[in-house]
């Protein structure tokens, strides 16, 4: 495999995406907004409205009581890690799904694939380039968003409590699981690209993968799952298996005609 060709495909895809403000601006601006707004909301609840809101949110657990004792720091740490963390973990899925759908189904929709496939590029070079063009920005975006929301959270926590609350070990584990979540989304796009007519369909199907991730904060709030380091190690191990299966079947079932 000639990696320079895979790299050229990746660069081409990224240049295309980032040359259109209408595509990249919402993809960046919306998560950045939430990365600032949600920690602010958490801070407000932690400091100014502890007993009312917290006891309503955590009516079935003892977090409300712990928050009342610790003056909100416990709640802020808990909410920032176990609720906001999983919410921002949808980033690597959404970003990867949006870019991968544009990359695979977009070639089909814009009819650029004929020229691309008439070159001596191999299937593995093509797939590597396309996967990288979704994987790299999804990962950069996720790390960036976690950095922003972590920094905002820490700045607010330092102001209120005099110490930083992030990173926690589970929070780091969430960041470490991001690449594996991205790969699932990309693998699904590769799998469905043969069966969809355009970008929107591919995005809709692959975005369904965020559903299980969005369940995570509720399992924590309801006390069903304990989001510990070992929990995330198990999740990552499971994702590696799913990634391998999805990517394997995606590559195996990939036919050039799929994007023609």
Where do we find the tokens 């999804």? 138
Residue 180 CA, chain-centre distance (Å), reads: 9
Residue 96 CA, chain-centre distance (Å), reads: 7
Q: Rule CB under 8 A: choose which of 5, 75, 86, 89 binds other proteins.
A: 5
Nearer to other proteins, 109 or 243 (CB): 109
Where do we find the tokens 């005099």? 162
Distance of closest approach, residue 9 Cβ to other proteins, in angstroms: 8
Q: Rule CB under 8 A: choose which of 51, 60, 122, 230 binds other proteins.
A: 122
Number of amino acids touching other proteins (CB under 8 A): 28
Contact segment (CB under 8 A) with other proteins among 8-16, 52-60, 81-89, 142-150 equals 8-16
CA gap 28, 21 in Å, rounded: 10
Is residue 115 a contact point for other proteins (CB under 8 A)?
yes
Among candidate residues 133, 131, 138, the one with its CA nearest the CA of residue 92: 138
Distance of closest approach, residue 260 Cβ to other proteins, in angstroms: 6
Nearer to other proteins, 15 or 49 (CB): 15
Map the footprint of other proteins across residues 11-40, applying CB under 8 A. 11-12, 15-16, 19-20
CA gap 137, 146 in Å, rounded: 14
Q: How far is CA 97 from CA 75, 132, 232, 244, 258, in A?
A: 32, 12, 22, 17, 18
Is residue 59 a contact point for other proteins (CB under 8 A)?
no
Is residue 253 a contact point for other proteins (CB under 8 A)?
no
Distance of closest approach, residue 93 Cβ to other proteins, in angstroms: 24
Q: Rule CB under 8 A: choose which of 55, 61, 70, 112 binds other proteins.
A: 112
Give the number of other Cβ atoms within 10 Å of residue 258's Cβ.
Answer: 19
Quick check: 73 and 165 in contact, CB under 8 A?
A: yes
Q: State the residues that interact with other proteins by CB under 8 A.
A: 2, 4-5, 8-9, 11-12, 15-16, 19-20, 110-122, 255-257, 260
């Amino acid at each position: 495999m000639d990696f320079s060709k895979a790299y050229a495909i990746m660069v081409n895809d990224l240049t295309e995406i980032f040359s259109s403000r209408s595509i990249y601006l919402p993809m960046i601006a919306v998560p950045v907004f939430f990365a600032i707004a949600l920690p602010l909301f958490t801070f407000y609840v932690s400091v100014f409205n502890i007993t009312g809101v917290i006891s309503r949110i955590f009516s079935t657990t003892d977090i409300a009581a712990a928050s009342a004792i610790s003056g909100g720091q416990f709640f802020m740490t808990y909410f920032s890690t176990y609720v906001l963390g999983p919410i921002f973990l949808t980033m690597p899925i959404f970003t990867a799904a949006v870019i991968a759908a544009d990359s695979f189904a977009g070639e089909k929709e814009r009819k650029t694939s004929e020229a691309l496939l008439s070159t001596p590029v191999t299937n593995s070079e093509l797939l590597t380039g396309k996967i990288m063009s979704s994987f790299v920005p999804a990962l950069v975006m996720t790390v960036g968003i976690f950095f922003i929301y972590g920094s905002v959270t820490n700045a607010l926590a330092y102001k209120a409590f005099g110490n930083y609350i992030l990173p926690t070990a589970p929070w780091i584990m969430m960041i470490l699981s991001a690449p594996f979540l991205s790969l699932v989304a990309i693998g699904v796009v590769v799998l469905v690209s043969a069966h969809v007519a355009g970008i929107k369909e591919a995005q809709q199907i692959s975005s369904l993968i965020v559903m299980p991730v969005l369940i995570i904060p509720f399992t924590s709030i309801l006390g069903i799952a304990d989001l510990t380091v070992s929990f995330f190690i198990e999740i990552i191990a499971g994702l590696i298996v799913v990634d391998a299966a999805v990517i394997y079947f995606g590559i195996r079932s990939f036919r050039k005609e799929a994007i023609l």
